[in-house]
A and B are shown apart, each in its own frame.
Chain A
Amino acid sequence: MSARPTGPAAGSHGPDATAAAASASPAELRRRTEEFLAAHPPADTGRTDFLRARFDAGLAWVHYPEGLGGLGAPRALQAVVDTALEAAGAPDNDPRRIGIGLGMAAPTLLAYGTEEQKRRFLRPLWVGEEVWCQLFSEPGAGSDLAALGTRAVREEATGDWIVDGQKVWTSSAHVARWAILVARTDPALPKHQGITYFLCDMTDPGVEVRPLRQITGEAEFNEVFLTGVRIPDAHRLGAVGQGWEVARTTLMNERVSIGGMRLPREGGMIAPVAALWRERPELRTHALHERLLELWVDAEVARLTAERLRQQLAAGRPGPEGSGMKLSFARLNQEISGLEVELRGEEGLLYDDWTMRRPDLVDFTGRGAGYRYLRSKGNSIEGGTSEILLNIVAERVLGLPAEPRDDKDLPWKDLAR
């Protein structure tokens, strides 16, 4: 009784679009894009209308299937479309605001969603009309996500699910229209087996979002209390009890979404430090120079590694480097922003703004060095901690043995907590 139309083989990089690859060469895509631009001149088209039309033309994410914003073309060809659109001054679907939808909800929907779910959710998700959040972590279940305790109980009469529990550190819950949610549907089974995956309407009664102020002063994430929330069975993603498998697709995509990012040389966090170094010779010391050069080289090497990963994906040879990119960028962001605060000397003691706000997007570059330093501490925690990712590299890439563990076969209700 598998409710999975395409299965997890789609893996961390979305569907493999080998079959339809021939339908779109770079030249063909460039032609389609030009045609599209002629029909929808960016200057005279409203942002939302433009993005909707782009989705309908299959130019949103070209590797997605036709009718779902794509053309079934190789993923690498997206660059052809993006370059042409950018040159024409077209609006983009700013991924900082809709990152969870794009990077996590979408590939999971594509792999496990029903036709109806895909048609309902993917377009407004991509356009950014509907923001998504991720109701995974709980106070008692972070790294050990499979230990989660939020309950979903099926109501006999209606088939609906009634959800009760508490989620935490939920980014963007305050602006989200939908959530991906994992909940326990059978506490008597071992922890990985009794979980089911849902799509939760954040406007439903019983969903309460409370800001959780964080280290930077603002509240980018939240606590979410779920009290008697009613989710129709049509909003279940995957089979009952298949939630862990579905969630793993989400998590893998979360971790590699950064690996596909394309930065120019001296892009990313190193940019403001290098600029400051050049502008303010009076701040330079020998010790800081050594550290700056090491980090500059590390940033360039990380950029090249990401570029190599991208080329491997384009050549249809996905390598394991993707899981490492999040680790590298987390370390780099933290060390570089730490250096920047020190480099500023007296100014480094100051902070731009402690006002408690609820931002609707994460903005690293628009804020001060102190903000970058503090916010980047989250890079090695969010989306899987660096320790957990190192375990994954060690076990899945290097093939090292797992540590002995005794939690896999015990019923969830009997686990220590």
Chain B
Amino acid sequence: MTPDPTTPAAPAAAPDLLYTAAEDELRAAVRALLDDRASDHAAALARAEAGGPHDPALWRTLAAGIGAAGLLVPEKLGGQGASHREAAVVLEELGRSVTRLPYLTSSVLATEALLGCDTDRPAVAALLGSLAAGTAVAVLAVPLTLGPGSPPPAAVRDTGGALDGSVTAVADAAGADVLLVPADTGLYAVPAAAVTITPQTPLDLTRPLARVTFREAYGELLAGPATAPAVLERALRTGAGLLASEQLGLAEWCLAETVRHVRGRHQFNRPIGSFQALKHRLAQLWLEIAGARAAARNAADALATGAPDTDLAVAVAQAACSRAAVHAAEECVQLHGGIGMTWEHPAHLYLKRAKADALALGTAGHHRTRVAALAGLPGPQA
């Protein structure tokens, strides 16, 4: 299952869209941990409102105890040498519990960026090793909305050896130790202590955002101007492909929770779940989620095997999963009625995460535009 990054376009074998026994085991371990330590939504919400960072003890257990942070990192660099398929399973579980942990940002996006750099260089290898071990958190200093296939951002400039500029909507910047910054002269690693991180109020309370300001900040060059764009693209593509699994997990929780609710809630002397109008809506949602699962698995498998159609698989998964997750969360709020509008009920956390995820790493519209290019279906002007 371990992908070999040196062999790109493997022959187009049929994708494996199921879960392996090892993936099922990993899921069980992650779910047990999150059920035990992250199922108290009220506590998590209070913590987020207080503006504190993620729960470091929980992060250590997931990252190092279960080894989830190093799934994408080869063993010789201190990781688990697993693949995107396993990382996707972790993200499904994190989506299911909307847990506030820097997994997508540090263990996927930043890790994948570092894997795209020259891993023989001690600076790259050392940072990768500490991300894999969960002893450091790194995030890409780009707006969370940046999708694959976008022009590289030009917010940070190299002014004679030091970096200047500012980036907004950087996810998980607040708890990060290192920022990976695409600047005009390449990709740099900058210690968090060397920059100003100003928290922003996020729509999605479970994924904190911040403005990161670089003022004569010194960093270590990880990739020069020739390779940095490809490194960033690799990170964004992987991030988008795996975000689909987080969206899938989120959607599944919303459906399961809504079904549970409508079976138990009585109005008009019947369970509301026996009304056909609601049954049809939930059956439609189930169909959409079945599609999202196939698309998310396909993207994870394509990333893992280096399939030649990975770009298309990612774009299709993002287009399908963004919609399914938002639809599921919106139905969850609506079919819970007044309860669904309350701060106490966790439905709003899921809605906020779903909507923010729909913007993250490219909207569904952005990814459909990618499909147009990749599948040869140009618009009117072309």
Contact = CB atoms under 8 A, between A and B. Distances in A.
A153 B377 CA distance: 61
Interface in B240-296: 259, 262-263, 270-271, 273-276, 278-280, 282-284, 286-287, 290-295
B271 to A, nearest CB: 5
B291 A402 contact: no
B18 A312 contact: yes
B371 A401 contact: no
B238 interface: no
Contacts of A277: 377
Contact of A400 (B14, B263, B297): B263
B278 to A, nearest CB: 8
Interface string A289-322: 1101110111011101101100110010100010
A327 interface: yes
A324 B287 CA distance: 6
A300 B372 CA distance: 13
B379 A289 contact: yes
Contacts of A157: none
Interface class of chain B by DSSP: helix
A403 interface: yes
B290 A292 contact: no
B328 to A, nearest CB: 13
Interface stretch (A278-286, A361-369, A372-380): A278-286
Nearest to A315: B18
A396 to B, nearest CB: 10
Interface string A395-417: 10111111110000000000000
Nearest to B17: A308
Nearest to B262: A400
B259 A301 contact: no
Given A289-B372, A400-B262, A401-B271, A304 B276 contact: no
Nearest to A398: B259
A218 interface: no
Contacts of A289: 372, 377, 379-380
B274 A393 contact: no
Interface string B294-336: 1101100000000000000000100110000000000000000
A293 B380 contact: no
B279 A400 contact: yes
Contact of B274 (A290, A321, A404): A404
Interface residues of A, number: 45
Interface string A6-33: 0000000000000000000000000000
Contacts of A285: 380
A290 B369 CA distance: 9
Contacts of A387: 280
Nearest to A394: B279
Interface string B1-28: 0000000000000111110000000000
A301 B271 contact: no
A315 B19 CA distance: 11
A393 B377 contact: no
Contacts of A305: 290-291, 293-294
B316 A300 contact: yes
A292 B45 CA distance: 41
A301 B286 contact: no
B316 A397 contact: no
B283 A398 contact: yes
Contact of B320 (A284, A297, A311): A297
B290 A307 contact: no
B57 interface: no
A130 interface: no
Contact of A401 (B273, B283, B294, B297): B273
A266 interface: yes
A296 B379 contact: no
Contacts of A402: 274
A391 interface: yes
Contact of B294 (A281, A308, A317, A394): A308
Contacts of B50: none
A301 B282 contact: no
Contacts of B287: 324, 327-328, 393
Nearest to A278: B376
Interface class of chain A by DSSP: helix
A311 B16 contact: yes
B290 A321 contact: yes
B175 to A, nearest CB: 35
Nearest to A327: B287
A292 B274 contact: no
B379 A304 contact: no
B271 A286 contact: no
A390 interface: yes
B375 interface: yes
Contacts of A317: 18
A14 B371 CA distance: 38
B14 A307 contact: yes
A304 B283 contact: no
A389 B16 CA distance: 28
Give the residue among B259, B291, B292, B368 with the most A Cβ atoms within 10 A: B291
Interface in A245-296: 266, 274, 277-278, 281, 284-286, 289-290, 292-294, 296
Given A277-B377, A296-B371, A307-B14, A398 B290 contact: no
Nearest to A386: B280
Contacts of B368: 290, 293-294, 297
Contacts of B259: 398-400
B375 A304 contact: no
A401 B274 contact: yes
A286 B291 contact: no
Contact of B18 (A308, A394, A403): A308
B16 A400 contact: no
Contacts of B375: 266, 274, 296
Interface in B361-382: 368-369, 371-372, 375-380, 382
Contacts of A404: 270, 274
Nearest to B376: A278
Given A296-B371, A304-B298, A394-B283, A399 B291 contact: no
A290 B375 CA distance: 14
B263 A399 contact: yes
16 contacts: A274-B375, A292-B377, A298-B291, A300-B316, A302-B291, A304-B15, A304-B295, A305-B291, A324-B286, A327-B287, A393-B286, A397-B283, A398-B259, A398-B286, A400-B263, A404-B274
Given A278-B376, A298-B291, A398-B259, 7 more contacts: A286-B380, A294-B368, A304-B316, A308-B17, A328-B287, A393-B283, A401-B270
Those 7 A-B pairs whose CB atoms lie nearest each other, nearest first = A394-B279, A304-B294, A393-B283, A308-B17, A401-B274, A301-B291, A284-B380
